[in-house]
């Protein structure tokens, strides 16, 4: 039997026996940049930056800053040369699409835009005091969360930490980068958020249930740790675990769809049919909305961005970049270029500065990077991950690697009269792979439209493929720009296989399901799922988790816990 999860805290409550009330269910959707949480009966979740800051005393601050646009380690570094090559390819791509769509018009050149911006002088007005620094004088504030962290004064004695990056626990070699530190940060962050935004005392959580939404391709050992935080640290009575993609279809009211979830740091694609995630269709691109923001800033600097003192290590300036991207970026080829806009720089204790800004094709070019990822300038060997890139859990007796190794060991031990039996063991198709290389240039990323086609074509059933081509669900906040649905639809129609041309006119890209915010779609789906009668058998109590561990998750979760088991 697998080792049970160890905990120093005794089990004090049993799951309630009366009918489940939506007001006693807390839905948690932890993302790399944003934490969304709320009761199942809420119309919208509470959203806050998924960040925590802890006070440091007499310690030199050595860990990375709070710059969430930075990239490091195996998930990519930024190359100026790659940036420039991608920029030229993107301009040619846009011009080709304009010509094919009959939209060839005079456009403002970059030199004209840069000349205008070079002459811009800001207009100062008195600060109205609506924005202020977080108060750090109170010694009782050992930790801060969410917006409080983003408004910390410069050089404040706090260590800033993002517990999750790219859909995984953010482990690193710096301060706060160990698994134990991250879990403690999550316990504090989630606990404070529940108390502050939901007005639920932590001592009462044993009377509440929790729904946890996980990325489809999340490391299973990390997922187990998150479950343990909820049940044994925060002490919820029960938990229901489900996948983001499936909850995305629940939240949009669709029975089946190819779900494209563009987040801040990653983009996940998965085909969902009748509430079941097709494991072979899962693919993850390790770039998203933050890469669009960083590239947009790179383009702004090339046209003499008038706010010269912008500092990417200043949280107010980083938020300004996000606002500029969300306000001005689009994917509509018909919008004219050369427009003059205004934006304000608001910083505590300083006068408000109002700038004029002229933009050419920069607001269009930046998000097109999702279709020409070399524009992001990322050099890495981990830009694409597929369902075959599976982690293995030594505590799980149904883990595929454990079963394979056990079979080999048993075969070697099989002897008769000292003579080893020679058994023919056919190597199974699920042996671990370092990386599934789709073709020699995929280290530079895969265009979003091609990744969607790859995901759909990975489905084994022709009828399933037809359904997926017919309905593409675009959710998440990373690509929620004007014209994104129409742009993506045209790209998919242009690459539709010949034998599926008959569905071309029925194809649909749904970018705002039920006219709601696409960033909340998965959370809403988790809330809907939690109160369905058919989902009541999916709940796992704290007692069951501590007694059976991952076995009970495998039996109770509404999806296939080991993504490669179907290959055995």
Q: What is the DSSP string of 420-481?
A: EP----PPPTT---S---SSTTGGG---HHHHHHHHHHT-S-HHHHHHHHHEEEEESSTT--
- Looking at CATH, the fold of the domain delimited by 22-61+132-243+523-556 is given as Nucleotidyltransferase; domain 5 (3.30.420)
What is the DSSP-derived secondary structure letter of residue 230? I
pLDDT at 455: 95
pLDDT at 128: 81
User: Both tokens of residue 557?
Assistant: 């979760």
How many CB atoms neighbour CB 198 within 10 A? Answer: 14
Q: What whole-number distance in Å separates Cα of residue 68 and Cα of residue 51?
A: 10
pLDDT at 444: 65
Residue pair 387/217 in contact (Cβ under 8 Å)? The answer is yes
Question: DSSP strand E in 337-406: where?
Answer: 339-345, 352-359, 378-379, 384-386
**Residue 356 CB partners (closer than 8 Å, separation 6+):** 120, 306, 340, 341, 342
pLDDT at 9: 39
Q: What whole-number distance in Å separates Cα of residue 40 and Cα of residue 536?
A: 14
Give this prediction's pTM.
0.88
Q: Is 160 helix (H, G, I), strand (E, B) or coil?
A: strand
pLDDT at 124: 94
Find how far residue 120's CA is from the centre of its chain.
37
Place of tokens 């309905």: 471
Residue pair 214/226 in contact (Cβ under 8 Å)? The answer is yes
Among the CATH numbers 3.40.50.920, 3.90.640.10, 3.40.30.10, 3.40.1190.20, which is that of 77-131+290-376? 3.90.640.10
Outline which parts of the chain fall under CATH 3.90.640.10: 77-131+290-376
| Long-range CB contact pairs, 137-143, < 8 A, 24+ | 141/55, 142/54, 142/55, 143/52, 143/53, 143/54, 143/55, 143/188, 143/192
Q: Is 25 helix (H, G, I), strand (E, B) or coil?
A: strand
Q: Which residue in 243, 222, 240, 224 sits closest to 550, CA to CA?
A: 224
Q: What whole-number distance in Å separates Cα of residue 277 and Cα of residue 256?
A: 10
Q: What whole-number distance in Å separates Cα of residue 98 and Cα of residue 337?
A: 13
Mean pLDDT by 10 residues, the chain (568 residues): 40 49 95 96 96 79 64 77 91 87 74 95 89 80 91 87 92 89 97 97 97 92 95 97 95 95 96 92 94 96 95 90 96 90 92 95 96 91 72 63 56 52 41 38 77 94 93 95 95 90 92 90 95 90 94 86 43
Sign, Cα dihedral of 135, 140, 145, 149: positive
pLDDT at 139: 66
Q: What whole-number distance in Å separates Cα of residue 384 and Cα of residue 76?
A: 11
pLDDT at 70: 82
Q: What whole-number distance in Å separates Cα of residue 322 and Cα of residue 486?
A: 23
Q: What whole-number distance in Å separates Cα of residue 511 and Cα of residue 522?
A: 13
Outline which parts of the chain fall under CATH 3.30.420.40: 22-61+132-243+523-556, 252-288+382-425+435-519
pLDDT at 16: 43
What is the domain class of 252-288+382-425+435-519 according to CATH? Answer: alpha beta
Question: DSSP strand E in 302-393: where?
Answer: 339-345, 352-359, 378-379, 384-386
Residue 157 Cα distances to 56, 416, 559, angstroms: 6, 69, 44
């Amino acid at each position: 039997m697998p080792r049970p999860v160890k905990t120093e805290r005794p089990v004090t409550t049993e799951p309630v026996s009366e009918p489940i009330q939506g007001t006693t269910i807390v839905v948690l959707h932890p993302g790399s940049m944003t934490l969304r949480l709320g009761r199942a009966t809420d119309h919208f979740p509470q959203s806050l930056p998924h960040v925590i800051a802890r006070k440091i005393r007499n310690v030199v601050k050595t860990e990375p800053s709070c710059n969430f646009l930075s990239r490091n380690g195996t998930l990519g570094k930024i190359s100026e040369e790659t940036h420039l090559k991608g920029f030229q390819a993107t301009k040619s791509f846009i011009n080709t699409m304009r010509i094919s769509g009959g939209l060839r018009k005079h456009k403002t050149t970059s030199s004209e835009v840069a000349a205008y911006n070079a002459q811009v002088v800001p207009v100062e007005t008195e600060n109205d005091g609506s924005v202020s620094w977080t108060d750090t004088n109170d010694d009782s504030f050992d930790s801060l969360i969410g917006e409080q962290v983003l408004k910390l004064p410069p050089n404040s004695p706090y260590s800033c930490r993002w517990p999750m990056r790219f859909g995984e626990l953010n482990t690193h070699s710096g301060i706060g980068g160990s698994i134990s530190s991250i879990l403690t940060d999550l316990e504090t962050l989630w606990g404070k958020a529940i108390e502050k935004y939901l007005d639920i005392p932590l001592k009462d959580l044993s009377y509440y249930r929790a729904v946890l939404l996980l990325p489809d391709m999340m490391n299973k050992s990390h997922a187990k740790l998150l479950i343990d935080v909820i049940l044994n640290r925060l002490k919820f009575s029960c938990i229901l675990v489900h996948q983001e993609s499936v909850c995305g279809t629940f939240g949009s009211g669709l029975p089946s769809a190819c779900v494209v979830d563009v987040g801040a740091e990653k983009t996940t694609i998965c085909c969902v049919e009748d509430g079941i995630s097709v494991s072979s269709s899962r693919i993850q691109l390790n770039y998203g909305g933050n890469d669009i923001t960083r590239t947009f800033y790179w383009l702004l600097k090339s046209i003499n961005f008038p706010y010269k003192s912008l500092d990417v290590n200043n949280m107010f300036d980083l938020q300004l970049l996000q606002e500029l991207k969300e306000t001005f970026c689009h994917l509509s080829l018909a919008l004219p270029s050369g427009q003059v806009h205004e934006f304000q720089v608001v910083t505590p204790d300083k006068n408000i500065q109002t700038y004029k800004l002229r933009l050419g094709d920069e607001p269009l070019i930046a998000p097109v990077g999702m279709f020409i990822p070399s524009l992001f300038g990322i050099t890495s060997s981990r830009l694409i991950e597929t369902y075959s890139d599976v982690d293995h859990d030594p505590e799980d007796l149904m883990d595929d690697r454990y079963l394979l190794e056990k079979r080999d060991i048993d075969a070697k031990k099989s002897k008769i009269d000292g003579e080893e039996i020679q058994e023919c063991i056919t190597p199974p198709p699920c042996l671990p792979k370092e990386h599934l290389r789709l073709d020699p240039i995929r280290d530079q990323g895969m265009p979003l439209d091609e990744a969607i086609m790859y995901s759909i074509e990975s489905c084994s059933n022709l009828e399933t493929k037809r359904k997926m081509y017919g309905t593409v669900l675009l959710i998440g906040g990373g690509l929620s720009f004007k014209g994104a649905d129409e742009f993506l639809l045209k790209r998919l129609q242009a690459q539709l296989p010949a034998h599926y041309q008959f569905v071309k006119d029925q194809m649909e890209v749904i970018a705002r399901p039920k006219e709601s915010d696409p960033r909340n779609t998965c959370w809403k789906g988790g809330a809907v799922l939690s109160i369905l009668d058919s989902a009541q058998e999916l709940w796992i109590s704290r007692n069951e988790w501590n007694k059976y561990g991952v076995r009970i998750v495998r039996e109770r979760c509404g999806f296939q816990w080991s993504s490669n088991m179907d290959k055995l």
